[in-house]
Structure 1
Amino acid sequence: MFDEISRSIDEFGNSLLGALNTVQNTFGRELSVAKPIKENVLQMIGNTPLIRLNQIGSHIPNVEIYLKAEFCNPTGSVKDRTALSMVLAAERRGELKPGGSIFQAGYNTTAISLAWISTLRQYKFKVFLAPDTDQEKIKELKSYGALVEVVQLAKGNWDDSLLETAKAAKDKEKNSVILNEFKDMANTNAHFLFTGPEIWRDLAGNVDAFVAGGGSGGTLSGVGRYLKSKKPSLRVIMGVSKNSRFIRKMVQGDSGIRLPESFDPKVTDQYIGVDRDEALRYQSELYQKEGIFAGLTTGTTLASAIHYAESLPTREDQKTPSYKIVVLSPDRL
């Protein structure tokens, strides 16, 4: 493939556009590099690359594994997509107007993305945190422009008092919203409208399985729903830690657990649990063997993808099309 691209570039010489068109024809898809100039930095969100893994999973015959590199988003996280989608949805609903405020209860990478987008769109962003929140995380939030309020009564990152404090702040301040990726369908829709179509486009529809983590469930649900709408036989796998609430609820049947509203359980075909040591090993191997530095969640989803691939019927016949698995890598953290 690379030789073919090189020949195309040589053939067209100084005509870069012509060379890119030939590459486009070779891959059968639109290349994001064909539009290199962005009107603003927010247009850097999305169109993240698919990276073929050449070493990890190579022991499985006729299976190809691709990493959807969401760490290529501006803040290094898939949550840039979620945050922008929620902000734009709040604007369209008329709930958020110029100069307004955005509140969030608790720390996660979405808070980083919201802080960054709020700065760009000139909103005030404030996050309410528990006293035990890591100081480095607080520094990072502030570096992105967030206002931070520590709620002394809160016992942990998911304490109800954080949301209660955020609601009280919203009641006092006009032109303000609380954004919550676990309830906001703009989260899931972002991945149905963009992330899923990108994968389908870049592999020209030749994708057989999609693997992602749990979290809010929005990424897996949105991407999975889109890909299944294009190819009903496609399998959607959630790769999470063995003690994940998704495993406890959906596999072990714990009725006391409530899952995020942004998660659609009808989309997921299989849940694969991975222990921390295995996740750490695959995170390390991803760097050592493929040169890709990604977070522990990627180690978990990649390990799950390997387990799934190893469970497939043996595909020794080279005439059979390769079985293509896409693994979503959410961030570098």
Structure 2
Amino acid sequence: MEIYDDILETLGNTPLVRLARLHEAGNVVAKVESFNPGSSVKDRIGIEMIDAAEASGELQPGGLIVEPTSGNTGLGLAMVAALRGYRLICTAADKIPKEKVALLEAFGVEVITCPTDVEPTDPRSYYKVAERIRDERGAFLPYQYYNQSNPMAHYKTTGPEIWRQTDGEITHWVAGMGTGGTISGTAKYLKEQNPEVRVVGVDPVGSVYEHYSKHGELPPAEKIHGYLIDGIGEDFMPTAVWWDYIDEVITIDDRTAYQTVLDLSRREAIFSGSSGGAAVAGALQIADRDLADGSGLVVTLLPDSGERYLSKLNQKWLQERSLL
């Protein structure tokens, strides 16, 4: 009988899909992570971080977990918590889509929303609120931004899957940078198989990664500002980024990301969130730049589904923000 003992056993081995209608040469493919049980790439790190905490003794049976998250990591943790008897609190920036809040609450998660436009060190930020809950209530804080189990999850799973699925023919790995875990762990594995694989990060305009990749320091404060792309970009430097395996970082603006979301749904029949739109836009740019002779294979990743952003991915919301 083909029966799984729990839903997490269905994790991984998500499909690679050729984006032949967006790139006629056919050498841009996307790994569609909405096929995971929690419908996002963050399912991978949810189980990896909890497994590591259980093994180290940081997390005890029936314990409390708290995590600052844009939603997807929270759901990955929520699934593990539900199966293993943990309680979970998620702190989130108030720009989190209401769909994600409702989904987390459906899993029994307590969601605390915090101001978006404050410094990470501000006591009102969703990072600091999570730290305060850890300190005051003795909760386990996985802290995906600093937890090395984050990139290791992708070193163990995403990287090997891509290498196998492409028969080792991948030449470029292009991915959005949020915590940095997805791009980093995958890149480490791919470069161990073939050091010539070029790794390109995709960063929203207003985030810090592109500037840091060139100058080794955060940009001036006036160059760090908000953006409408969800789930990628930061205003500080997480240690989950493994810079030794990243060759360059490019920027994508809000309009390009959201236009690509629409192109994906209307031409490829794939409904992605805006971070996926940014990643695909970056992958198409790299393919046009580096694969002019038609050879090579660019692989990117769609972290989740656009269904989590329906309050944003509609004509009215897009028009009000000049994204159409």
C-alpha contact (below 8 Å) 1:130/1:157 kept by paired residues: no
Specify whether residues 298 and 86 from structure 1 end up closer, same or farther in structure 2 by C-alpha distance, changes over 3 A only: same
CA separation in 2, counterparts of 1:264 and 1:225? 8
- Alignment match of 1:140 (pick from 97, 103, 115): 103
Question: Relative to structure 1, is the Cα distance of residues 129 and 221 closer, same or farther in structure 2, using a 3 angstrom cutoff?
Answer: closer
Q: 1:247–1:271: 8 Å Cα contact kept in structure 2?
A: yes
2:200 and 2:187 map into 1 onto residues whose CA distance is: 9
User: What does residue 232 of structure 1 align with?
Assistant: 195
Aligned to 2:140, what secondary structure does the other structure show?
strand
* In structure 1, C-alpha distance between the alignment counterparts of 2:198 and 2:184, rounded to whole Å: 12
Secondary structure, in 3 states, of the residue corresponding to 1:219?
Answer: helix
Following superposition, the deviation at residue 258 of structure 1 comes to 3.8
Provide the C-alpha distance between the structure 1 equivalents of 2:101 and 2:289, rounded to a whole number of angstroms. 42
Question: Which structure: larger Rg?
Answer: 1
Are residue 329 (structure 1) and residue 307 (structure 2) matched?
no
Match of 1:220 among 180, 183, 186: 183
What does residue 242 of structure 1 align with? 205
CA deviations over 1:7-49 (Å, ceiling 9, x no partner): xxxxxxxxxxxxxxxxxxxxxxxxxxxx953221011111111
Which shows bigger deviation, 247-256 or 189-198? 247-256
What letter matches 1:327 in structure 2? T
Counterpart-to-counterpart distance in 2, 1:150 and 1:140 = 14
Q: Equivalent residue for 1:17?
A: none
AA aligned opposite 2:276: T
Residue of structure 1 equivalent to 2:249: 271
- Conserved? CA contact 2:257–2:275, under 8 Å: yes
Question: Which residue identity does 1:267 align to in structure 2?
Answer: Y
Question: Contact 1:130–1:156 at 8 Å: present in 2 too?
Answer: no
Percent identity among equivalent residues? 31
Asked if the contact 1:209–1:236 (Cα under 8 Å) also holds between the matched residues in 2, the reply is yes
Specify the SS of the correspondent of 2:157.
Answer: helix
Q: Which residue of the other structure, out of 140, 154, 168, is the alignment partner of 1:191? A: 154
> Cα RMSD over matched residues?
2.5
- Inter-partner Cα distance in structure 1 for 2:257 and 2:135: 43
1:42 and 2:32 are equivalent in the alignment: no
Q: Which is worse superposed, 288-297 or 128-137?
A: 128-137
> Relative to structure 1, is the Cα distance of residues 149 and 278 closer, same or farther in structure 2, using a 3 angstrom cutoff?
closer
Alignment of 1:118 onto 2:60:
no
* Cα deviation, residue 132, structure 1: 7.4
Provide the C-alpha distance between the structure 2 equivalents of 1:181 and 1:131, rounded to a whole number of angstroms.
Answer: 19
Alignment check: 8 A CA contact 2:28 2:299 kept: yes
Structure 1 Cα separation of the partners of residues 89 and 23 of structure 2:
43
Tell me how far 1:91 sits from its aligned partner.
Answer: 0.4
Deviation at 1:137, TM superposition (A): 4.1
- Decide whether aligned partners of structure 1 residues 260 and 164 sit closer, same or farther in structure 2, where only a CA change above 3 A counts: closer
Alpha-carbon deviation of 1:173? 4.3
Aligned positions of 1:166-205 closer than 5 A: 166-173=130-137, 176-205=139-168
Counterpart among 21, 36, 42 of residue 55 in structure 1: 21
37-46 vs 226-235, which moves further? 37-46
Q: Which residue identity does 1:147 align to in structure 2?
A: E
Q: Which runs of 5+ in 1 are unaligned?
A: 1-34, 317-321
**Cα displacement (A) at 1:233:** 0.5
Letter in 2 for 1:178: L
Structure 2 residue runs of 5 or longer lacking an equivalent are 220-234, 307-324
User: Number of aligned pairs?
Assistant: 289
Q: Distance in 2 between matches of 1:141 and 1:84?
A: 16
With the length of structure 1 as denominator, give the TM-score of the two structures: 0.79
Cα shift readout 1:182-232 (whole Å, capped 9, x = no counterpart): 000000000001110011111121111111000000000000010000001
Paired residue type of 1:124: R
* Residues 46-55 or 165-174, more deviating: 165-174
Which residue, 30, 42, 45 being the options, matches 1:79?
42
Instruction: Give the Cα separation in 2 of the matches to 1:114 and 1:199.
Output: 24
